[in-house]
Structure 1
Amino acid sequence: MKLICIDVGNTSIHYGLVESQSVNHTGHFPTSGLKDGVSPELAELLQPLAVEAEGISFCSVVPDINSNLVASLAGLGLSVFHLTHASCEGLALVYPKPSEIGQDRIANAIAAQAFHGVPAIVIDMGTAVTFDIVSSKGYEGGIIAPGLQVMTRYLHEQTALLPELKADDLIEVEGAIGKSTVHAMKLGVAVGFSGMIDALLQRVTNELQSRGEAAPVVLSTGGSIANLTKDWAAKSRFVQNLTLMGLAVAFQRNETA
């Protein structure tokens, strides 16, 4: 079954045509384009995908634009499914307040559960870094930490003399002792970012194994994975478009529930 899957983020809407673990025709659309009402432009972008698709599945972290999104999709003539904490068939939410869980994080957990097994730790490296833990009990919770962009922007904005680093500046940083201001910043952010991820991962892994869970599958997704040190990156399995895959699984589970 081919589905149009849409992940609504704070700044960008990511979409693609999904069939199982195959994701094609991906693209982005600014979330602000739905702020004031229906968007003919989004519908036009998705029309070629709708020819092949059998439905639409979406998640959103911007509730205020959800009705505009659904209205924009109406002309495509496909059934629309919204993944929430109340519609995640097949994934138990072992969490005190399920309504607080980000819908994209639920989608990631479903994809991990469906395609990689549990226990699993999903690390999504976007503006913020999120860890989501799926055990034999279900979705248990996670961790939210500063992302790479937050680190670099904060250093620049909160100081008078430090420049703003770009993501590409942080790949393959050499040495251990900075020999200039920029070199020192690169080491602090690049090595520090990897170290933060490593420390959080070890803490979660220890917690799971102390409870008798098997060694978890570690999945990573998101653009900042390229900025992890090589030794760390080998500790995870990178899966592009994991959220979109999870949305497709969620749609199909609800169709058969």
Structure 2
Amino acid sequence: MLLVVDVGNTNMVLGLFTDDVLQHSWRIRTDYSRTDDEYAMLINDLMNFSSIQLNNIDAVIISCVVPPVLDALRRMTVKYFATEPYIVSSDMNTGMDVQYDNPAEVGADRIVNAVAAYQRFKCSLLVVDFGTATTFDYINGDGDYCGGAIAPGLGISADALHAQASKLPRVEIIAPPVVVAKNTVNSMQAGLLYGYAGLVDGIVKRMKREVGGNPVVVATGGLAEQIAQASESIDEIDPLLTLKGLLYLYKLNLSN
């Protein structure tokens, strides 16, 4: 079995593939302080709930934007799975030309998403990933990664509103019944959700005008469903895009 691991600043998503089929996936909190042994125990517990043995894993690929966690996961893989993990980086063969001033600056998750989206659609694309930060990435019709934009994530915006305004509570990020709200919680939800949808639509519109054509807009990430319902520009939602991209990159580098 192949274990794919996508480590973001807030959450970590793990998936188990057998013969290109995703068998199980889990989302856990990213903890910068966990050791390699603690990660092994946690993954073992998750797998036990699904009646899977740790020794069924014979390969691991990791996309990580948190260096201390990457170090722990690398040690865990060697120690408990007796194999070196595949690490997504600018040095990995992705089959994609990264047209960035410094390709090493591009987050591993952005490259994985770009590869996965292009392999699925085979056309020009804008990939929007709603994570701790919200990233917008453009892939041209030839499958080249051409750059993008980074904005604060919706969760960060909600946390900042609560932290910096003493009378504003922490709110669940869901669609309120109306935009012209009658209470503080709904007012915050309206501002966050619809304001953010406006941000997405505005950046997508500007990107489309800049690159020309009509690229397909694909959304992924934990809040993709909520934002897509309020957005006028998202064409497709794929919550498993990053895991699929990791599978593709594993197979690509295995053959090489």
How far apart in 2 are the matches of 1:162 and 1:9? 27
Q: Helix, strand or coil for the counterpart of 1:228?
A: helix
Which amino acid in 1 is paired with 2:91? A
**Hey, what does 2:241 align to over in structure 1?**
242
Q: Summarize deviations over 1:218-254 as a string: whole Å, max 9, x none.
A: 1111121232263526732111221111111111111
Q: Which runs of 5+ in 1 are unaligned?
A: none
The TM-score, its normalising length taken from structure 1, stands at: 0.86
Partner of 2:13: 14
1:64 is displaced (CA, Å) by: 2.1
Q: Is 1:104 aligned to residue 109 of structure 2? A: yes
Calculate the aligned-residue CA RMSD, in Å. Answer: 2.5
Q: How much has 1:195 moved relative to structure 2?
A: 0.7
Amino acid at match of 2:178: G
**In 1, are the aligned partners of 2:225 and 2:237 still within 8 Å (CA)?**
no
Closer, same or farther in 2 for the Cα pair 1:17/1:137, shift >3 Å?
closer
Q: Structure 1: which amino acid aligns with 2:73?
A: L
Contact 1:34–1:68, Cα closer than 8 Å, also in 2: no
Shift in alpha-carbon separation, 1:216–1:20, aligned structure 2, 3 A: farther
Q: Give the residue type in structure 2 aligned to 1:245.
A: K
User: Within the alignment, does 1:24 sit opposite 2:52 as a pair?
Assistant: no
Which of these residues, 63, 86, 91, is aligned with residue 91 of structure 2? 86
Query: SS at the partner of 1:99?
Result: helix
CA contact (8 A) 1:7 1:13 kept: yes
Q: Which residue of 2 aligns with 1:162?
A: 168
Q: TM-score, structure 2 length as denominator? A: 0.86
Aligned to 2:61: 57
SS state of the match for residue 218, structure 1?
strand
1:171-250 aligned within 5 A = 171=175, 173-209=176-212, 214-228=213-227, 230=229, 232=231, 235-250=234-249
Shift of residue 18, structure 1, vs aligned partner:
3.0
Which one-letter code corresponds to 2:196 in the other structure? F
- Say if 1:34 and 1:251 are closer, same or farther in 2 by CA, change over 3 A: farther
CA distance in 2 between counterparts of 1:123 and 1:217 reads: 11
Question: Shift of residue 35 of structure 1?
Answer: 3.7
Percent same amino acid among aligned pairs?
29
Structure 1 142/156 Cα, relative in aligned 2: closer, same or farther at 3 Å?
Answer: same
Q: In structure 1, what is the equivalent of residue 150 of structure 2?
A: 144
Is contact 2:118–2:139 with CA below 8 Å preserved after alignment? yes
User: Residue in 2 aligned with 1:254?
Assistant: 253
Structure 1 position 186, deviation (Å)? 2.3
Structure 2: how far apart are the matches of 1:121 and 1:80?
29
Determine if contact 2:74/2:84 at 8 Å carries over to the other structure. Answer: no
Question: Structure 1 residues 162 and 29, CA, compared in 2 at 3 Å: closer, same or farther?
Answer: closer
Q: Which residue of 2 aligns with 1:117?
A: 122
- 70 and 183 in structure 1: CA distance in 2 versus 1, 3 angstrom threshold: closer
Task: State the shift of 1:33 in Å.
Answer: 6.8
Tell me by how many angstroms 1:63 deviates: 1.3
Count, aligned residues? 249
